[in-house]
Structure 1
Amino acid sequence: MSSAFTASISQFFSGERKKQHFLLRPSVIVGLLYILFFLFMARFHGFSILSYVHLGRVSHTPNTHTAGYDGQFFYYIAQDPLHAAWRMDNAPYRYQRILYPMLVYLLSLGGMTALIPWVLLLVNFFSIVLATEFVARLLCKHQLSPWFSLPIGLYYGQTTAFVFDTTEPIAYFFVCLGFLLLANKKTLLAAIAMGLGCLCRETAILFPLGYVAILVLNREWRNAFIFGLISLVPLPVWYLCLQFIFGSTGLGYAPSFEPIPFQGLFVFQGNSRFLPLLILMFVPTVLNILYILIEVRHNRWKTATWISWLLNLLLVIFMSRLSYVELVSAGRLSTGLVIAMVFHAWYTRNNWLLWMAMLYTLTFPIYIYFL
């Protein structure tokens, strides 16, 4: 019985098995879990779809008692892209991540107010599910189990972005699509996808940046120039547009990095949020540090995936204390680290690293517990 069970588990996580049933695949499981989570959260929100926007007094909304959250700004841009600035704390900063609200504007038939809250949620829902599907297909291409894609959808940073209507799911949807296109040797389309991801969330730039860096190290100057032009340049060009429109790019509004590793996290020591931060953020990041050093020791670091992994790791290590104030912001900002780890494990066919990444799936129920 024991050996049969072990064999079945081994087969389940093996890339060498028969074609999956449509309903028994990681992306479908992730989708079902998010639907259940949405129904669970709906009870606490009084089944009000607008509550996921998190409107607040910062946007001059009457009769509110909180500052709200970032989703409100994408809601207002989607309502009226040309005249939403007056409702914002810092308009150029909020307009940096323009692609998400503009897509919602189009899908809500030109900003129909009643549709926007639904479309905000649905765009993120399908972004999470499809990103998981893309990574599952990448894993299968290397004869690895598609179930190792679960961290892409079940990391709690994706979960918080889903219920707070923020841009991370669609940003990393484009990143995952870009890697799938790269694996299929569709380089120009991959560059376009990653460029679009950067216009959803600026931290997505760490992925095309890693790819361009490895092209430069390999002296593939022409490929580096073309890929960088398409994937990296759109973001600074958009910043120049913001400078022209608002007289500012909004870059100085973002919280600055801490000078000491994990300083932003440990300032909360003794606070009630310290324990969940320790479990959800500190322990997994330390494991990342240890494993990224192991990859250097085994000379598996001269890859685009390793460089992107390192850049995302540094982002989390030196994250501002303002980003640790809430589990939401800390999770959102660290999502790229999880995705970068999985991509590197996929590229190097590293089963041990994939198993370690699976620990991130536990953050989904842990986050729900701490709600």
Structure 2
Amino acid sequence: MMRDAATFEPVESRLTKPQFWGTLPARWTSDVEETLVCCQVRQETHDVKSFFFRSPAGHGFSFEPGQFVTLELEIDGETINRCYTISSSPTRPHTISITVKRVPGGKVSNWLHDNLQAGAQVRVLGPSGEFTCARHPARKYLFLSAGSGITPLMSMSRAHHELSEDRDIAFVHSARTPEDIIFARELDLIATNQSNFRASFVCERVGTRTNWPGVTGFLTLPLLKLIAPDFMEREVFTCGPAPYMKAVRDLLDEAGFDRRHYHEESFSFETLIEEAPELLAEVAPAENGDVLANTFAVSFSRSNREIHCGTDQHVLDAARQAGVRLPASCTQGMCGTCKVKLVSGQVEMKHNGGIRQREIDQGMVLLCCSKPLSDLVVDK
């Protein structure tokens, strides 16, 4: 045993082991502990970083691979909510990670890359989401991803790997260049350890890797048949930019794939609203004469706007129809992006975990899943 020359005290006795070693942590919940601590930042590619978080109280994270969390960030004096898929595996419950691509001009992704460091505290809500292989057990899977859409499928792959479940998984990832492939080495490692796991990469161009031995171009039906000849028998999970997911749907429809075995992320976390309430669907404003009797007035106190909302219509939908731009993401009551303070009035709200009970008690609501029961005044 090594000893210190001055005191002869064993060096090991002076080292403090992490509190969580050898213990099963109590489950973390954002209702009880809203703030997590960033414990590591890892550079994945030239424009992608992974951020790891730990519970200050030592709580553990329980989630299904493929789910997401919502970060509540203070940027330039403004509170901004953004959803990010969990990239880590639930088999490692002491930490949780998200993997973020820097979006040119993106307010949140650039702030995270430039400012979030180990030791920083962040308010986090979740986990939430239904895009998970845990709810669709299958003998064979096909994972299709592009860009940062790899994160939920990476969580699923890591979970199978660390549980030593050698499930038949064909993982096909598309990237701009070989340098843009996220988790390339780890996917190769999983493929080495799991005989039924196969990772394939499709790069739009070779970039600086002139010796790239892989496929260049885009994913096509003939290429998919070459990579996974039995793809028609597989449970398919897809995540990536909206144009990519549409291309995948078209490709599978062309092949006659049974959509009952197809699953995709219902919204793009990083691109749908990264900087862009203006990216929300454009709907023609209603004419004044279209206001019906069974509506209530909704006033936005800070923007000095007023709209009318039907009794069986969600406030967010009515706002979009009236041309009012509001931050929103999932539109399913899960992410918390459209959370606002209800100054006066009452709503019927049916959410899916995107708001804490204490926030509801304080008068907060999610506009995407709230229907008016009276005239409303919203602090927005």
TM-score (norm 1): 0.28
Structure (1 or 2) with the greater helix fraction: 1
Taking CA–CA contacts closer than 8 Å with sequence separation of 6 or more, which of the two structures ends up with the larger relative contact order? 1
TM-score (norm 2): 0.28
**Between Structure 1 and Structure 2, whose CA radius of gyration is higher?**
2
